[in-house]
Amino acid sequence: MNRTISLVLPLALACACGDAERPPSGRSETSLEVVVDGEADLPFDGGLAEGQLALTFDDGPDPETTRRILATLAKHGVLATFFQVGIHVESHPEITREILAAGHSVGSHTWDHPDLTQLPLAEAIDEVKRGVAAVERASEARVHDTFFRFPQFASSDELRAAVRDQALVAFHANIVTEDWLTPDPNELLAKALAAVDAERHGIVLFHDIQPQTADMLDAFLDEILARGYETVVFRPKPTLASLGAARGIRVGSYLAATDHPAAFPVARRELNLYTMPAFIDIVHPAPHTFDFGVVDRTVELAPVSTVMLGHCLVYCDPVTAWIAEGSFTGAELEEILVDHVTTVVGHYRTKYPGRVVAWNVVNEPFSFTGDGCPWNRIGLEAGGRELDYVRIALRAARAADPDAKLYVNDFGIEALNAKSDRMLRLVGDLQREGVPIDGVGFQSHFSIGEGGPFPSPPPIEQMVANLNRFSAAGLETAVTEADVSIRDADVSPETLAEQAARFQDLATACVSADRCVAFITWGVGDADSWIPEFFPGFGSALLFDRAFRPKPAYDAVADALRVR
């Protein structure tokens, strides 16, 4: 009998796990899965029912003892959770991957196992983040690792709040075997069984760096299964990022370090891509002057499993004041453009290698003609075309980072229409001219109801057919700025349900298209939406409300991403 049962475990409440189907004998062929849901610490006993045991192993991985423990667990069909120390993970990343490949869960246990309460808060947080980063790098994760255990269980209210802010769930244990104090395997076996029988349920703490633990584990598992205990393995609740990862789709949001602080724990937990605000007026505020502060902080606030889409290198609105008001010739503007693209892309390739995986190099190229966009003068004054600057920018970006994907991004191209035809012609021309272009971003700003600032989304079938026109040309596609706004006076359960249906259509179109690689919203929660500022009287446009609680649209997108 191969059994995988998922039970949702609210962290503040005990799980009613005792009603789950039990094996017909004392031995199960796999452990019961319990899904951890919530933002508070897990209870010391994991909220488990009588007779349920969750095995956990700290301080590894170790190339000898961890592998012996894995072999013994496999022999008994038991799954466990391993809380790993960053310096050991960095030395043996392949073992972390072996643990995950065997079906176990993995969490972090700081970088080098200090007592965090003895460190300044900033250093303690860095210890936590470095440990998480090591696990995520080793596991080659596309999603944030959310399980964490304090070394020696030493914590404080301030530390626990900081851990929650990193979207981590803190684990404890109510059955502490003290294997590090008990070098004799037989003595440890007796001690561990006595501790289990005293508690009768909960989280068991071992250490996979202890040889005596590896020595006694086979007999320990034989005995607890013979006594009728059931083993449990904890799993993180599925998130938008994990659901998308199963389909090869990154799920993200526009996010700046200056956004609402409550957005960041949600983003760390739910997303694995941030669109970072690299607008020219932010990063290039004056001639020969670059300021990467806000954008750098955005990258640094993200887990290492989260990648960045840079937005955007070249845009006619906004153009920083010194360019818009300057009397530059087309040739001078070309020099400014190449220097800007080279400097910005080169900065992120050098400072954060591998983190910025794509750039919206040019945003909305069709919206500004003639003198409406200074960049147009580059081609027009040289006897060329308005959009020659697009070609120059793409070539400069490729030269600055040969590994990053290069996109052109626009609105109103989601349906089969004249504007999407024009975009298809543009990228076709670029390809024929040998200009580097890897993808097209479909902004996907929409509204529901009468008089909204944007149209309703196109039918799923039409959007899929349109996306596939671009993939047939060898290009990636991405939904890059999705929101579905509602008139403030019309917000109701009914309109939120309609909004959810439209978001589900957009996500379903991305899932159904041949090469749609990302689904991104323009903001995490309604508190950070751009809609109310630019279109007064409208808002409520995103997946999370103003308090960053999930809306029906969140569930709809999750449902669209879920593999069936």
Main-chain phi, psi angles of 520, to 5 degrees: -130, 135
pLDDT (0 to 100) of residue 245: 93
Cα–Cα distances (Å) from 375 to 320, 330, 388, 405, in that order, read 12, 8, 9, 22
- Reduced to 3 states, what is the DSSP secondary structure of residue 257? coil
DSSP 184-246: -HHHHHHHHHHHHHHH-SEEEEEETT-HHHHHHHHHHHHHHHHTT-EEEEEEEPP-HHHHHHT
**Local confidence band at 21 (pLDDT 50, 70, 90 cut-offs):** very low
**Local confidence band at 285 (pLDDT 50, 70, 90 cut-offs):** very high
Side-chain half-sphere of 391: how many Cα atoms within 13 Å? 17
Residue 7 has pLDDT above 50, yes or no: no
- Reduced to 3 states, what is the DSSP secondary structure of residue 10? strand
**Local confidence band at 3 (pLDDT 50, 70, 90 cut-offs):** very low
Catalytic residue selected from 364, 386, 414, 498: 364
Cα distance between residue 374 and residue 382, in whole Å:
14
Q: Are the C-beta atoms of 306 and 273 separated by less than 8 Å?
A: yes
* Strand (E) or helix (H) holding 264: helix 263-270
**Local confidence band at 10 (pLDDT 50, 70, 90 cut-offs):** very low
Q: Give the bridge partners for 35, in sequence order.
A: 8, 235
Q: Are the C-beta atoms of 224 and 55 separated by less than 8 Å?
A: no
pLDDT (0 to 100) of residue 243: 95
Q: Are the C-beta atoms of 425 and 463 separated by less than 8 Å?
A: no
Residue 4 has pLDDT above 60, yes or no: no
DSSP 389-447: HHHHHHHHHHHH-TTSEEEEEESS-SSSSHHHHHHHHHHHHHHHTT----EEEE--EEE
- Determine the length of the chain: 564
pLDDT (0 to 100) of residue 39: 64
Residues 17-22 have a mean pLDDT of 33
Main-chain phi, psi angles of 362, to 5 degrees: -125, 130
Parts of the chain belonging to CATH 3.20.20.370? 6-236
pLDDT (0 to 100) of residue 564: 77
CATH class of 6-236: alpha beta
Cα distance between residue 543 and residue 318, in whole Å:
27
DSSP 292-321: -HHHHHHHHTS-TT-EEEEEEEEESSS--H
Residues 41-56 have a mean pLDDT of 94
The pLDDT tens digits of the residues spanning 494-529 come to 999 999 999 999 999 999 999 999 999 999 999 999
433 is catalytic: no
Residue 385 has pLDDT above 60, yes or no: yes
Per-chain mean pLDDT for the chain: 92
Closest CA relative to residue 147, chosen from 265, 268, 236:
236
Within the chain, what is the greatest distance between any pair of CA atoms?
87
Q: Are the C-beta atoms of 182 and 220 separated by less than 8 Å?
A: no
Q: Are the C-beta atoms of 231 and 201 separated by less than 8 Å?
A: no
pLDDT (0 to 100) of residue 492: 97
Residue 17 has pLDDT above 60, yes or no: no
364 is catalytic: yes
Cα–Cα distances (Å) from 421 to 198, 428, 437, 470, 509, in that order, read 71, 11, 17, 10, 18
Tokens at residue 195, please? 């501790």
Q: Domain 240-561 in CATH: superfamily?
A: Glycosidases (3.20.20.80)
Residue 26 has pLDDT above 50, yes or no: no
Q: Residues near 150 by Cβ (< 8 Å), separated by ≥ 6?
A: 110, 116, 159, 163, 170
The pLDDT tens digits of the residues spanning 229-254 come to 999 999 999 999 999 999 999 999 99
Instruction: Please report, as a single letter, which amino acid is at residue 500.
Output: A
pLDDT (0 to 100) of residue 38: 61
Catalytic residue selected from 33, 136, 481, 498: 481
Q: Are strands 356-363 and 307-315 parallel, antiparallel or unpaired?
A: parallel
